[in-house]
Structure 1
Amino acid sequence: MDDLSILYIAGYGRSGSTVLDVLLSGHPRVASVGELVFLGNDWQDEDRKCACGEPYENCLFWEGLFKDEGEVDSLEQIVRDVEHRHVLPKLLLGAHSEEKKREYRRRTRRLFEYISQQGRADLVVDSSKSARQAAGRFWALKNIAGLDVRVLHLVRDGRAALRSVVEKGSNWALEGHIEEKRWLGARTTMGWVLANAIAWGLGRSLGNDLYHRVKFEDLLRAPEETLREIGGFVGVGLEPVIQRVARDEVFEVGHNVGGNRIRHKQQIHLRKTDTPNPHPWSGLDRHHQILFATLGQWMNQKLGYSW
């Protein structure tokens, strides 16, 4: 564990984390495994499978992680008790019992050690982000589990993220796991604001050496330059990945947990573009334009997106 580092992708969904996760997995010493916060929950649901298409208990990568269902239950419970947004104040105040902290530390370190060994990796990428279930995850991994965590805050113009959800629906609803909830536009906008505010606030408190913000639009516009920037931040030379992107290669999806449904395509191709979002308000009807302008644009501007 002394040689293992965690790159935590923070922020909100529909911001390109699945794409970046899969790109990073193209490095031979990097294990990118998606949204680990959902591992226990997904393992227990027979309708949810690893990105390879197999149930987790039958997946060649994950099958050796748990001895029985009791261990799955314990991981899912301790993650919910420590990382969820509704217990974030308790986490930040250090108010969890010492017993709970020890249990969290033991189970999360065991998880990352397993992933490192399976993937023969020095760097594990966890793209759980910072929405409701994982609001305090990177903070807990660093300050309770004692892991070497670097936070990459991946942002995308909130209008594009909102448009994606409004036009297509939420990922879990699209995959048939839940019914689509009411007030989707308002819920998405507020969720986007909260997730990015938490990622920014907690991330910056760690210091510049451990927190870095990158725009998804920059990854599409200048992928080689952006990947070098990420590699410099985490201390890993990403040239093998950069060269593959420059050759316009496809990247195999490995054994990701959760994430955008594109993970089920088994292969991902980075679609480069010089103008990722030339008309940011287009695609949103008048109602959603007013909604985002009122509730979300203030945060959008703080993240570097103009009107």
Structure 2
Amino acid sequence: MLVTSVSSSARVIFLGGLGRSGTTLLERLLGEVPGVTALGEVVHLWARGVVADESCGCGEPFSRCPFWKDVGDRAFGGWPPELAAHVAALRDRVDRTRRIPALARAVRTRPPAGGLADYTWVYRRLYDAASAASGGSVVIDSSKHASLAYCLAAGGLDVHVVQVVRDPRAVAHSWHRRVARPEDGTPMMRWAPARTSLHWAAQNLSLELLARCGVPVTRVRYEDLVEAPREAVGGLAATLGLPTGPGSLDFIGDGRARLSVAHTASGNPMRFAVGPLPLTPDDRWRTSLVRRHRRTVTALTWPLMARYGYGEGAA
């Protein structure tokens, strides 16, 4: 693929962290702020949307969603399968956690070259097209993967990373549960608590390193978000330079939020929610996470747990 331009108009909010940490909830809430468009987990758009034709957050198959059809036409003249294959091959080459040290150097020594330049060009085109199709100036990508955040920063995109953290014991409990994907009823991936702990630490440490590379990174805790959603979203919106004037947060009420339809390409089942959504903490791990798993998670994540305010008695 030939990189023909490096200019960009869309501002990108990238939600990073380990899955099951509340990124979809935060994306849905920020997506209700005027001028902001939630896109879902764009990293999975190619395989799950373009190839598998799974449902958009609006309920339509990806190929029949008017929003994504418009985005594809604007960005690439459609969604050719060979583009999805090309992006998948590029991702295998450049967008991997093990490549973060090399990507950190690329962030500091921009502009990118080779496969990284091609890869970030695709995302730039997609974000700009989504911004134009929605009429907003800000798009949200909740792909989570720290390596993709590095790629976007190295590519010179206007990206602000929001690091979403949650108590690793709660995350481990969620990853260990049996949950069916709403798209096809198949079981979602399950991880053992030890594996979850290592990934939780790796993703969050990688995002801390990204901040040291000069990329704006703002940390948000899931527990703070559900305890005081209006204050958390309002404070984050101000930090991100989003509208915070009268009425901009009226969709958040007392213990609930009202959600409109979102054209999210992939993500947690919450992406399909429309209408009133209760905003209550999910703390089932406190009674359901067995003691040995709790000890394992604490042992493997303790330094970061303490840094993020998760002591033994913390929420």
TM range (shorter): 0.7 to 0.9
Name the counterpart of 2:253: 246
Cα shift at 1:122: 0.8
Q: Does the alignment pair 1:124 with 2:139?
A: yes
| Distance change in 2, residues 1:129/1:241 (3 Å) | farther
Structure 2 segments unaligned to the other structure (5+ residues): 1-6
Name the counterpart of 1:82: 94
Name the counterpart of 2:207: 199
Structure 1, 88-97 or 40-49: larger mean CA deviation: 88-97
Q: Does the alignment pair 1:91 with 2:103?
A: yes
Correspondences of 1:49-88 after superposition (within 5 Å):
49-64=55-70, 65=72, 66=76, 67=78, 68-88=80-100
Aligned-partner Cα distance in 1 for 2:188–2:288:
24
CA contact (8 A) 1:22 1:253 kept: no
| Distance change in 2, residues 1:166/1:99 (3 Å) | closer
Aligned-partner Cα distance in 2 for 1:211–1:46:
33
Structure 1, 257-266 or 158-167: larger mean CA deviation: 257-266
Aligned-partner Cα distance in 2 for 1:265–1:37:
21
Aligned-partner Cα distance in 2 for 1:120–1:139:
27
Name the counterpart of 1:151: 161
Name the counterpart of 1:46: 52
Match of 1:294 among 295, 299, 303: 299
Match of 2:149 among 124, 130, 138: 138
| Distance change in 2, residues 1:219/1:286 (3 Å) | same
CA contact (8 A) 1:173 1:179 kept: no
Structure 1, 241-250 or 28-37: larger mean CA deviation: 241-250
Could you say what the CA RMSD is over the residues aligned between the two structures, in angstroms? Answer: 2.8
CA contact (8 A) 1:49 1:55 kept: yes
Identity over aligned pairs, percent: 27
Name the counterpart of 2:176: 166
CA displacement 1:192-233 (0-9 Å, x = unmatched): 1211111222134326xx111111111111112111211121
Match of 1:221 among 214, 227, 240: 227
Cα shift at 1:150: 0.7
Counterpart code for 1:141: L
CA displacement 1:259-291 (0-9 Å, x = unmatched): 212223444614146xx75x9743211221121
Aligned-partner Cα distance in 2 for 1:174–1:254:
16
| Distance change in 2, residues 1:87/1:268 (3 Å) | farther
Cα shift at 1:120: 0.9
Counterpart code for 2:167: D
Structure 1 segments unaligned to the other structure (5+ residues): none
Structure 1, 65-74 or 226-235: larger mean CA deviation: 65-74
Aligned-partner Cα distance in 2 for 1:282–1:203:
35
Aligned-partner Cα distance in 1 for 2:104–2:212:
14
Q: Counterpart of 1:70 in 2: which secondary structure?
A: helix
Name the counterpart of 1:259: 267
Counterpart code for 1:261: P
CA contact (8 A) 1:256 1:263 kept: yes
Cα shift at 1:180: 4.7
CA contact (8 A) 2:18 2:200 kept: yes
Counterpart code for 1:81: R
Q: Does the alignment pair 1:304 with 2:296?
A: no
* TM-score (normalizing by structure 2): 0.83
CA contact (8 A) 1:32 1:256 kept: yes
CA displacement 1:49-80 (0-9 Å, x = unmatched): 22222222221111241432112222233233
Cα shift at 1:152: 0.9
Cα shift at 1:149: 0.8
| Distance change in 2, residues 1:290/1:30 (3 Å) | same
Counterpart code for 1:205: C
Q: Counterpart of 1:282 in 2: which secondary structure?
A: helix
